[in-house]
Amino acid sequence: MMRTAPVAGARNWAASSPPLLRFLTACHKDFAADDSGEVAHYIPELGKAHPEHFGISLATLDGHVYEIGDSRVPFTIQSMSKPFVFALALDTLGATRVEAVIGVEPSGDPFNSIRLNAENHPFNPMVNAGAIACSGLILEAKGDAAFDIVRQALSRFAGRELDVDEAVFASENATGDRNRAIGYLLRTSGVVKEDVRKVLDVYFRQCSVLVTARDAAVMAATLANRGINPVTGEQVVTPYAVSRTLSVMTSSGMYDYAGEWIYRVGIPAKSGVGGGILAALPARLGLGSYSPRLDAHGNSVRGIKVCEALSSHYGLHMLSRADDARNAVIADYNIGKSCSRRSRRPQERRILAAHHNQVRIIELVGTLSFSTVDYVSRQLASKPRPQFVIFDLRRIAAVTPAGGRLLAEEFQELANFNVTVILSGIDRASGQWKSIGEWAAGLSNIRNYPLLDDAIEWAEDQIVYRHGGNIYAVEVTELAEQMLLAGLDKEELDQLTALGTVKTYRPGEKILAEGEPASSLFFLKSGVVHVKLPNGIRVATITAGMAFGEMALLEPHRSADVYADAQVTALEVQLADFERFREDNPRAGERIMRNLAQLLADRLILANTKLNLLTAT
């Protein structure tokens, strides 16, 4: 039997295996002992399959594949091809053409029933009649290239080139009279318009394509991933085709066992008489199994047990989702709780304190789905309407189409009340922005900032400006306005001024560098400076009337970089001169250190507030 090494290079395989692989290994061990069921014999070549072969594979949406047992043993895909060819037909010919001749209702009959619905159409694309109709539609559209197009599509789903088992094809062709009867019935009903022999040639070859349990898992994961192969990253089919395909897999993928299947397992699935089963749980995983012993419905006995165990053990029934939209909001606050890192002058602080509830920040995580956005919109409506709403999306992994549409409608509702929406933490080149932007196109009340702090600072600036402040004024401050020097008299300030040197810096110029000796401190007279960590993250924005480099009083080296944001004028005082000033003026020295302690305490309070916002929500 062919085995795969689940953890390459691991010395102690059992001890180092991930929990999910250990679970699949236990399933393989337990169910391998079940020898009930029979290998399919009605196609002679299928009867040659080794009855003890048993492989399991599971593919995640980030492209990781778990494997155990005979996961690389090839077998023919048979009816497991049906959902993929149906999806191909939807994308190739268009939904209108396909849905006009193939129904989507369960039949309740075996897969090879020679019966059509009341409109003389196949009941659904998962029974043989529907699958043959799909092959006929593709042949009608693509002519002699039809099967090559089908094989290439199946290969893209699997993420590798797939071949045909010519012996099985010959056997299917030799014993396929029942399918011929179905084909001629479809031709008589006007569903199939091409030569039935050519249609069946495509269908028989399609069923004879060789896959493995691993292939089946990746193919199923591609359906679970809205048509994107998680291993190759290729968009194989459209989300529309995927949603319709998963729908008929749910209702009809397991034939006359479909009702029992969805009741017990609750995962869209498709089986094949070659012994394979694939199951696609949307937005979660794809499962593939191979064991050729079949039950009376034509489904793999061991494969069904694996699916049942996985669904039951981990609660994966698709109608038993535990997602809670409330968990998507990790913080909801205004600037009174957490302001930007920009240091503000007293007048600005008074304005922001009086109007702190005019800027609301909502930090989100996970997926922006229909229910998530609905919950957020109701939270917004539950409090007085602000002037600015900031949505921090840096932790958002995906935006569903329904979530994107509802979010755009929420933006429109806010625009109707002159509320400005600010998005942060989202790159305009990202898939999330594309998902939101396609719905929000044309709305003028939306701004975007890469960093949350930039978004908060911009909103604060607008509040200050709207209430009489002038954030853009070119202001030259005196030493008496410095918070670090609050309480010093004129004589002390004059002495300190005489010790300093006035320096000017161009916009973008680096003033201080992280790690260099801290030999001086600066009192900003005009302009703005940014304090940044070496990785580029902004720690603070300092405006005229404030000091920077003051940590030199406590630390021997600079802890961050400082850049001029605009034309800057600053009074630089050497640390040695400043220390002599403190010694000569002990009252002033004590007052300065108290002011420094208060500034550091304020920073700590702000940091704790931000932390509490995240832990309390």
User: For 17-26, 171-180, 378-387, 443-452, which range has the lowest pLDDT when averaged over its residues?
Assistant: 443-452
**Rg (the chain; Cα; Å):** 34
Q: Please compute the mean of the pLDDT values over residues 533-544 and round it to a whole number.
A: 81
**Backbone torsion region of residue 468, taken as left when φ is above 0, otherwise alpha when ψ lies between -120 and 50, otherwise beta:** left
pLDDT tens digit sequence for 445-468: 788 888 888 899 999 999 998 998
* Residue 325 or 184, more confident: 184
**3-class SS at 421?**
strand
Q: HSE, CB side, 13 Å, CA atoms: give it for residue 6.
A: 26
pLDDT for 118 equals: 82
Indicate the range of 132-146, 386-400, 416-430, 522-536 predicted with least confidence.
416-430
Cβ-contact 135, 122 below 8 angstroms: no
Here the tokens at position 352 are 């922001």
Amino acid 56: pLDDT:
98
Highest mean pLDDT pick, 16-30, 170-184, 208-222, 380-394: 208-222
Mean pLDDT on 567-583: 91
Higher-confidence residue of 342 and 322: namely: 342
Report yes or no: 519 and 505 within 8 Å, Cβ to Cβ.
no
Q: Distance between CA atoms of 163 and 283, rounded to whole angstroms? A: 29
Domains in the chain, ordered, with CATH? 13-314 (3.40.710.10), 325-466 (3.30.750.24), 479-612 (2.60.120.10)
Predicted local confidence at residue 5, as pLDDT: 38
Under a CB-based contact definition with an 8 Å cutoff, are residues 226 and 215 in contact?
Answer: no
Looking at residue 101, its pLDDT comes to 92
Is residue 343 within 8 Å of 540, Cβ to Cβ?
yes
Q: Which amino acid is at 32?
A: A
Kind and range of the H or E run holding 543: strand 538-543
Tokens of 187: 């031709």
Q: Which residues pair with 423 in a beta bridge?
A: 391, 448
Q: Which strand (E) or helix (H) includes residue 398?
A: strand 388-399
Q: Using the predicted structure, report yes or no on whether residue 399 has a pLDDT greater than 60.
A: yes
- pLDDT value of residue 75: 97
Residue 605 has pLDDT above 80, yes or no: no
Mean pLDDT of the 588-598 span: 87
3-state secondary structure at position 454: helix
Distance CA 531, CA 535 (A): 12
Q: What was the pLDDT predicted at 8?
A: 36
Report residue 138 as tokens: 């593709």
Of 382, 443, 438, the C-alpha closest to 374 is: 382
Predicted pLDDT at 6: 39
Average pLDDT over residues 510-515: 92
Q: Which residues of 219-233 are buried (b: 16+ CB within 10 A; e: fewer)?
A: bbbbbbbbbbbbbbe
Residue pair 176/128 in contact by the 8 Å Cβ criterion: no
Supply φ then ψ for residue 409, to 5 degrees: -70, -35
State residue 607's pLDDT score: 62
What tens digit of pLDDT does each residue of 416-445 get? 889 999 999 877 666 666 666 666 666 667
pLDDT attached to residue 348: 84
What per-residue confidence (pLDDT) applies to 398?
Answer: 82
Per-residue confidence band for 241, with pLDDT thresholds at 50, 70 and 90? very high
The pLDDT confidence band at residue 14, using thresholds 50, 70 and 90, is very low
Least confident interval from 43-57, 395-409, 488-502, 505-519: 395-409
Least confident of 106-120, 221-235, 236-250, 516-530: 106-120
Mean pLDDT for all residues in the chain? 87
Residue 35 has a pLDDT of: 94
Which band of pLDDT confidence, cut at 50, 70 and 90, is reported for residue 305?
Answer: very high
Query: Do residues 546 and 482 make contact, with C-beta atoms less than 8 angstroms apart?
Result: yes
Which helix (DSSP H) or strand (DSSP E) does residue 613 occupy?
helix 586-616
- Is the pLDDT at 3 greater than 50, yes or no? no
Please tell me the distance from the alpha carbon of residue 566 to that of residue 527, in angstroms, as a whole number. Answer: 6
Question: Where is mean pLDDT largest: 196-205, 311-320, 532-541?
Answer: 196-205
Under the banding of pLDDT at 50, 70 and 90, the label for residue 1 is very low
Q: Tell me the mean pLDDT in the region 524-530.
A: 89
pLDDT of residue 106: 82
Q: How far is CA 127 from CA 107, 137, 316, 524, in A?
A: 8, 16, 26, 78
pLDDT at 15 over 50: no
Confidence of residue 471 (pLDDT cuts 50, 70, 90): low
Using the structure block, give the residue that is written with the tokens 């932790």: 395
Stronger pLDDT, 343 or 97, i.e. the higher one? 97
The Cβ of residue 599 has, within 10 Å, a number of other Cβ atoms equal to 16
Note the pLDDT tens digit of each residue in 347-382: 888 999 999 999 999 999 888 888 888 999 988 888
Residue 426: per-residue pLDDT: 79
Partners of 446 in the β-ladder: 421
